[in-house]
């Protein structure tokens, strides 16, 4: 959806400078800012609920259970103590 809004000229200049430093577009920064604002101001959800699924599309993070098992593989099993 496209939305028109009035933004003061000095804010647009700062936004453009920030976009240039981040090698991003002005529109992408505004979308990110709106998303962050909505996340931080959501009254109905806890911070845990807001963060749920945040990394769901990451393919560089393995399975949590496999990670725990790898951390513990050098330990003596409880049954063998």
pLDDT digit string, tens, across residues 3-54: 999 999 999 999 999 999 999 999 999 999 999 998 887 766 677 777 888 8
Using CA atoms, how far residue 68 sits from 34, 38, 65, in Å, is 36, 34, 5
Residue recorded with tokens 């933004």: 7
Using CA atoms, how far residue 29 sits from 33, 50, 60, 63, 66, in Å, is 6, 20, 25, 32, 36
Contacts of 61 (CB under 8 A, 6+ apart): 55
Q: Indicate the pTM of the whole model.
A: 0.50
Confidence class for position 70, pLDDT limits 50, 70, 90: confident
């Amino acid at each position: 959806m496209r939305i028109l809004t009035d933004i003061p000229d000095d804010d647009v200049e700062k936004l453009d400078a920030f976009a240039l430093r981040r090698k991003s577009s002005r529109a992408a920064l505004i979308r990110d800012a709106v998303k962050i604002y909505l996340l931080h101001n959501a009254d109905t959800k806890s911070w845990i609920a807001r963060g749920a699924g945040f990394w769901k599309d990451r393919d560089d993070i393995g399975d949590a259970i496999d990670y725990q098992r790898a951390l513990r593989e050098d330990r003596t099993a409880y049954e063998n103590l």
